[in-house]
Amino acid sequence: MEVAARAGVSIKTASRALNGEGYVAHETRQRVQQAADELGYRANGMARELRLGGNTSTLIGMLGGDLGNPFYSKLASGLEREVRFRGLQLVTVNTDEDTRSEQRLTDALLERRVRALVVASTLPSHEHLAAEHRHGIPFVFVDRPPVGLSADAVLLDNRGGAHQAAAHLLELGHTRIGIVGDLSRLSTNQERVTSFGATLRAAGIADWREHLIEDAHDVDTAQRAVLDLLRRDPAPTAIFTTNNRITTGALRVLHRLPAPPALIGFDELDMGDILGVTVVTHDPENMGRQTARLLLERLDGYAGTARWVILPTRLIPRASSRRPPGTG
């Protein structure tokens, strides 16, 4: 250690001084501190952890496909606040929904020995994590469940939420309802779409898939999908959008229409109340807290079977669903 030399002490004494361990003469400590400052010295955390055996990291990794989405950022924020109490730090990485990226970033986090990993994955399978998981590093999956791997998860009641949305529209007399969905391979989307459809079918609407458009993954695509639905004859009198981005796209189209169809979106919107959009809402920050809870219990030694927490959703009726089927 360069610092030790400059201060004229042994390497170990320098270490003691810098780490504030006892048994260092006042004057020595000062000399070391000064040398360190002059050199711009910073302890090498990697070497320390390497020496200490690897489970001293205070880093929790979180991996997500689209952490820019307010849903995930609120989730992360709830999680972060919770783990911070325990002296743990959250680092997040964004995979941009790119599978290769997700692989590489998972490796990077794991190789750097994060203490635990929170995964909001878009991958179709997580078997590549199985070995790691058996080795003891805790994973908690959020929003989307682990596949090919038994691990803790915090999920939404997607089926329940979609069911409420469908029931609400049926009650208002709608029978021709369009659905605009996200990537069809995503489990969240599948659950929302199929549950919504099942409720329609149970009400005697057998051909609900006629008005289903999926894979509208961004706002622009969603806009086009909604336009497509509206141009049909007869056009749907109501539309269900399966997430916040898609709802945004739908709003961009609908707000220009003199007599727009009814609208229900999954996920609350920042301006949902102002815009009067009926939504199926839930509490992302609470999701973060639940995630933290599972994580911390694992860190505290719980080694039982994987636990899944399913969080409730709630329908908030607002103006956008009050438009009766006749108006369109």
Partner DNA sequence: TTGAAAGCGCTAACAT
Partner DNA sequence: ATGTTAGCGCTTTCAA
Minimum CB distance to a second copy smaller for 21 or for 98: 98
257, interface contact from a second copy, DNA, none, CB < 5-8 Å by kind: none
Closest CB 50 distance from a second copy, rounded Å:
5
Q: How far is the CB of 256 from a second copy (least distance, A)?
A: 9
Residues 84-103 that bind a second copy (CB under 8 A): 84, 89-94, 96, 101
How open is the CA angle 320-323-327, to the nearest 5 degrees?
Answer: 140
Q: Which residues pair with 156 in a beta bridge?
A: 311
Distance in angstroms (rounded) separating the CA atoms of residues 309 and 266 = 19
* Separation of alpha carbons 157 and 192, rounded Å: 9
Residue 111 contacts a second copy per CB under 8 A: yes
Kindly state the tokens that stand for 256. Answer: 């220009």
Residue 42 binding a second copy, by CB under 8 A = yes
Q: Which does residue 127 touch among DNA, a second copy, none (CB within 5 to 8 A, set by kind)?
A: none
Q: Which does 297 bind (CB under 5 to 8 A by kind): a second copy, DNA, none?
A: none
- From DNA, a second copy, none, which one binds at residue 255 (CB under 5 to 8 Å depending on kind)? a second copy
Per CB under 8 A, contacts with a second copy among 205-264 are 248, 251-252, 255
Q: How near is the Cβ of 110 to DNA at its closest, in Å?
A: 12
90 binds, among DNA, a second copy, none (CB under 5 to 8 A by kind): a second copy
Give the pairing type, strands 278-281 and 314-316.
Answer: antiparallel
Tokens of 37: 């400052």
Position 326: which residue type? G
- Could you give the C-alpha distances from 153 to 70, 139, 172, 194, 214, in angstroms and in order? 20, 8, 35, 21, 26
60, interface contact from a second copy, DNA, none, CB < 5-8 Å by kind: none
Q: How far is the CB of 147 from a second copy (least distance, A)?
A: 18
Q: Residue 115 contacts by C-beta under 8 Å, 6 or more apart in sequence?
A: 55, 57, 58, 59, 60, 88, 137, 138, 299
Of residues 25 and 271, the one with the C-beta less far from DNA: 25
Identify the bridge partners of residue 262 per DSSP, sorted by sequence position.
238
Residues that bind DNA (CB under 7 A): 1, 9-13, 15-16, 18-19, 22-25, 27-28, 43-44, 47-48, 50-54
How many whole angstroms separate alpha carbon 257 and alpha carbon 266?
21
What backbone phi and psi angles, to 5 degrees, belong to 264? -130, 130
Residues 172 and 201 sit within 8 Å (Cβ to Cβ):
no
What's the half-sphere exposure (Cβ side, CA atoms, 13 Å) at 231? 7
Q: Residue 54 in 3-state DSSP? A: coil
Q: Which is nearer to a second copy, 45 or 324 (CB)?
A: 45
Q: Quick one: 9 or 83, whose CB is closer to DNA?
A: 9
Residues 43-72 as x/- pattern, contact with a second copy by CB under 8 A: xxxxxxxx---x---xx-------xx-x--
Q: Does 316 bind a second copy (CB under 8 A)?
A: no
Cα–Cα distance, 157 to 47 (Å, whole number): 44
Q: Are 90 and 76 in contact (CB under 8 A)?
A: yes
Q: Which one among 6, 86, 113, 307 touches a second copy, defined by CB under 8 A?
A: 113
Bridge partner list, 211:
none
Could you tell me the smallest distance in angstroms from the CB atom of residue 49 to a second copy?
Answer: 6
Footprint on this chain of a second copy (rule: CB under 8 A): 37, 39-50, 54, 58-59, 67-68, 70, 73-74, 76-77, 80-81, 84, 89-94, 96, 101, 104-105, 107-108, 110-113, 130-132, 134-135, 248, 251-252, 255, 269-271, 273-275
